[in-house]
Chains A and B, each alone.
Chain A
């Protein structure tokens, strides 16, 4: 299913899409595949695979640590593609989240081609703004990969309009000024940002990320956004678990709780 179909279906069901994030190769290639499939089966509509990178400036301590573990275990860009392929063939819609340098090093067009071949539907670029994305826009058009750029509470209306116009599939709204990581309360800036995106484009689905960690917060965000993006809280399930089985069972429990949340928007 394409990203727009998933958002369309969720809209019809009057609920939000749940996007669950996990770094590729954390803590090993096989474990990350198992985690992602478990997340999908327990209720994550879309799996956001993060390509581990040495210098993740948008990420807080949890994702940094998970990425470091994956890199130390030797995960390569080709492993990430292999992981995406395994998860996508298990039936989960997959988008890739990646910092820009690994893509530039791989070759932008070649990467778009190889990513499309894995069955992934889209790619989120946290440190690539449309202003610098000419090559990526061309490659993603050619290979039919949805492009998700970020908008932020600090974005001007002009930049929101420009960014949304360059997105395909959905736009990623960062709920607050800061890095990834669960917060105790949902940001008050997020509803306003989503409004501003809707003003620029009524039809572009908006996923809200940064700071969502439990079912209650997911329900709060689902009330005003089309998608709820959760990363650090899910990763913690694995990071803090004493063993693999405990990690997977915590991951399933949290995914189910979040899935319940996005189905019961707090009006």
Chain B
């Protein structure tokens, strides 16, 4: 049986995806689609992309057998170390690909939305490297919470525009980027940060980050001689998850698990779990799962992890969920932070809080998978980013910031 090639030509994954956008953007999306089709089969473009990944971004990332963690967990855990990439996350793959595409289309300016600032920093990085003008929209709440990332983007030469309307967070930054794009499509590429939005973005982003899964699959075969039993990733918009899932989708024996941000618990209503706690709707250009009220108004999401704090999800995940090929579960802030601490202490790796959700979910399912297959499972966890950006949040969560502050000299009376 061969699976259908998705998305279809109009960008649909089953009933999800598509284009729910103002007509003004259709031409730009068509041009992007055409440019991407030609780049995809152009050996020169692909060689340039691979060269940047290899020699600039530090890709392929390691697949690291986490021995101490595995011993504690009762499973063989392999960490796909995307945290070791330049700029500290899987996102560099997407921004390099799209920035090259912008150059190919002759567009001198890129715009991006950012939540915590990771995609903004990555976009500013790629723009600096490839000599593009870069404007980043960021919710005003987030510019205050993530002042260091604002400084990083500015150091890299980007203009950061705080967004003061709506809830002043990621979703409003995305709205504002779309409004900019409607007015600037001739000169501007919208460097969308996740595998969501109108067609062809979900496909383009998936393909640019798809190396994660291709590498992990080959590395796993090389290291242990077979495929893993489980591949686990965190899901906000869903780019790191689709990046590692995609190569494994045809391997039916490999279970795919996406862990959404459960915040205080899906039952509390304070979460960002669009698939497990939301319903089908249209947001930011695509039909997908959305956190919404009875009137279809978008609800505010909540998560300790800024990178997962988004009320929608990429349409391919909606489809993988409905078809049952991937399973999605929520992971609470508390579960994620416990896994965060465990990884710090057993492996000397400070993960992004996003990635800690993937680890926490993986740890939780070990008993049931073990029972199902009758042996210790092998689990590949996508460690999608490093935790440097989260030191303040985690420090506050664990109550260790005060200790740190008293160690800082020079402020004595």
Q: A interface vs B, CB < 8 Å?
A: 53-58, 60-61, 64-65, 68, 71, 76-77, 100-106, 126-129, 131-132, 149-156, 159, 163, 174, 177-179
CB B241 to nearest CB in A, in angstroms, measures 23
Known: A55-B283, A55-B284, A179-B182. A155 touches B295 (CB 8 A): no
The complex places the Cα of A150 from the Cα of B21 at a distance, in Å, of 11
Q: Residue B106 at the A interface, CB < 8 A?
A: no
Q: Give the residues from 32 to 70 in chain B that come closer than 8 angstroms, CB to CB, to chain A.
A: none
Pick from A54, A60, A64, A156: contact of B297, CB below 8 A: A54
Q: Give the residues from 273 to 310 in chain B that come closer than 8 angstroms, CB to CB, to chain A.
A: 281-285, 287, 290, 292, 294-298
Does the CB pair A104–B165 fall under 8 Å?
A: no
Q: B interface vs A, CB < 8 Å?
A: 10, 18-28, 165-166, 171-172, 175, 178-179, 182-186, 281-285, 287, 290, 292, 294-298
The complex places the Cα of A96 from the Cα of B246 at a distance, in Å, of 42
Does the CB pair A101–B283 fall under 8 Å?
A: yes
Q: Which residues of A contact B290 (CB under 8 A)?
A: 101
Does the CB pair A101–B282 fall under 8 Å?
A: yes
Does the CB pair A104–B281 fall under 8 Å?
A: yes
Does the CB pair B166–A177 fall under 8 Å?
A: no
Q: Which residues of B contact A65 (CB under 8 A)?
A: 165
The complex places the Cα of A65 from the Cα of B182 at a distance, in Å, of 19
Pick from B24, B185, B298: contact of A54, CB below 8 A: B298
The complex places the Cα of A155 from the Cα of B185 at a distance, in Å, of 12
Interface-central residue, B27, B165, B294, B296, by most chain A CB under 10 Å: B296
Q: Which residues of B contact A106 (CB under 8 A)?
A: 295-296
In the A-B complex, list the 3 residue pairs whose CB atoms are closest, starting with the nearest.
A105-B296, A152-B24, A178-B183
Known: A55-B175, A105-B281, A179-B183. A149 touches B23 (CB 8 A): yes
The complex places the Cα of A71 from the Cα of B295 at a distance, in Å, of 11
Q: Which residue of B lies closest to A126 (CB)?
A: B22
The complex places the Cα of A177 from the Cα of B22 at a distance, in Å, of 11
Q: Which residues of A contact B294 (CB under 8 A)?
A: 105
Does the CB pair A132–B20 fall under 8 Å?
A: yes
The complex places the Cα of A65 from the Cα of B283 at a distance, in Å, of 19
Q: Which residue of A lies closest to B171 (CB)?
A: A55
Given contacts A57-B175, A152-B22, 12 further A-B contacts (CB under 8 A): A57-B284, A101-B298, A104-B287, A105-B296, A131-B19, A150-B23, A156-B27, A159-B27, A163-B23, A177-B24, A177-B182, A178-B183
